[in-house]
Amino acid sequence: MDDRSERLQAKIRDAQLEKAAYMLIVGDKEEKEESVSKRGRSGKDYGPQPLEKFVEDIKKEIEEKIIS
């Protein structure tokens, strides 16, 4: 979790440099909708999705050893 008082773009850039597999952006809107906005290591924006769907997808990736 990156709760620094930096701009979102700076946090995304830092996560990419650290080669984080996924970045989950959770703001007020996502909290209200019980969703997450997902970005990949490359910076690709997968957009918002329900939290349950993200958890389901990530479990499948782990089970099938999928690298994206």
pLDDT attached to residue 68: 58
Arithmetic mean of pLDDT, 47-58: 92
> Which CATH number does the domain housing residue 37 bear?
3.40.50.800
pLDDT attached to residue 65: 81
For the chain, how many structural domains are there in total?
1
Arithmetic mean of pLDDT, 43-68: 87
pLDDT attached to residue 67: 65
Provide the domain limits for residue 53.
Answer: 8-64
- Within a domain: residue 25? yes
Under 8 Å between Cβ of 22 and 36: no
The C-alpha angle 26, 29, 34, rounded to 5 degrees, equals: 70
pLDDT attached to residue 32: 92
pLDDT, one tens digit per residue, over 34-48 is: 999 998 888 788 899
- Within a domain: residue 3? no
Q: Is the full-model pTM beyond 0.85?
A: no
